[in-house]
């Protein structure tokens, strides 16, 4: 997605060979117009898949997920990372190792928001080693729902997440795919392909 790639080039900050900071438009301050375009793109990619529910994880998955839900006309449920006092219903839970926080977190969704009749699209902001996506997948499976695929805003393709998910037969659609963050530069996969073709 060109708009997103241009924005990453312009405003993303490479913190290390493995971490990209996008706090000015996705992870802290959020750009609603960009989020809207992201939602439209996910909707275009999954419009024929009969999505009845979108599942994401708090907090940075919520903005792209809600926009996708708007255009796919499906409700959005986010997994919580901390137990809420008001969340007293039967819970679906999974343990997730957090890439950025370097710790295990228990994530949960109330059972009543996922059913066997659901066809789910999982959405998240980043895909690194796939722990968050695999945790969300476990919740969807515990709820007995069907999985249509995973939509990712920024995939770091040099890490293992996409491959792991694809090996499980899961469709992964990433709007920006980063091949490398070496030397403080963001290089997208399609940039490399274009260079080879020239
Ligand atoms: P994974 O579970 O795939 O290893 O990592 C994905 C999760 O870690 C995402 O939900 C995201 O919040 C966070 N994450 C992973 N890599 C990055 C990164 O380079 N930058 C930011 N801002 N978050 C990341």
Give the span between the Cα atoms of 45 and 166, in whole angstroms. Answer: 17
Mutate to test the pocket of ligand 1, among 96, 125, 161 (most ligand atoms within 8 A of CB): 125
Retrieve residue 141's tokens: 């499976």
Average pLDDT for 118-141:
97
Reported confidence tier of residue 101, pLDDT bands at 50, 70, 90: confident
Reported confidence tier of residue 143, pLDDT bands at 50, 70, 90: very high
| pLDDT value at residue 30 | 98
pLDDT at 191 over 90: no
pLDDT at 102 over 90: no
Average pLDDT for 154-166:
97
DSSP 157-175: TTSSHHHHHHHTT--EEEE
C-alpha of residue 198 to centroid of ligand 1, in Å? 33
User: b/e map of 76-96 (b: 16 or more CB within 10 Å)?
Assistant: bbbbbeeeeeeeeeebbebeb
Residues with CB under 6 A from ligand 1: 19-22, 27, 60, 99-100, 124-133, 156, 161
**Which of 76-80, 87-91, 103-107 has the lowest average pLDDT?**
87-91
User: b/e map of 116-150 (b: 16 or more CB within 10 Å)?
Assistant: eebbbbbbbbbbbbbbbbbbbbbbbeebebebbbb
Residue-wise pLDDT tens digits, 10-67: 999 999 999 999 999 999 999 999 999 999 999 999 999 999 999 999 999 999 999 9
């Amino acid at each position: 997605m060109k708009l997103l790639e241009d924005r990453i080039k312009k405003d993303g900050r490479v913190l290390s060979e493995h971490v990209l900071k996008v706090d000015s438009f996705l992870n802290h301050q959020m750009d609603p117009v960009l989020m809207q375009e992201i939602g439209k793109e996910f909707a275009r990619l999954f419009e024929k898949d009969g999505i009845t529910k979108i599942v994401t994880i708090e907090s940075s998955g919520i903005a792209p997920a809600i926009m996708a839900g708007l255009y796919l006309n499906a409700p959005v449920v986010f997994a919580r990372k901390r137990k809420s006092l008001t969340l007293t219903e039967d819970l679906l839970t999974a343990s997730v190792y957090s890439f950025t926080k370097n710790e295990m977190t228990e994530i949960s969704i109330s059972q009543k928001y996922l059913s066997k009749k659901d066809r789910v699209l999982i959405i998240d902001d980043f895909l690194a080693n796939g722990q968050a996506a695999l945790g969300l997948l476990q919740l969807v499976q515990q709820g007995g729902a069907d999985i249509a695929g995973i939509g990712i805003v920024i995939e770091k393709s040099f890490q293992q997440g996409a491959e792991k998910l694809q090996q499980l037969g899961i469709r992964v659609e990433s709007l920006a795919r980063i091949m490398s963050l070496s030397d403080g530069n963001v290089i997208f996969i399609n940039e490399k392909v274009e260079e080879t073709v020239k």
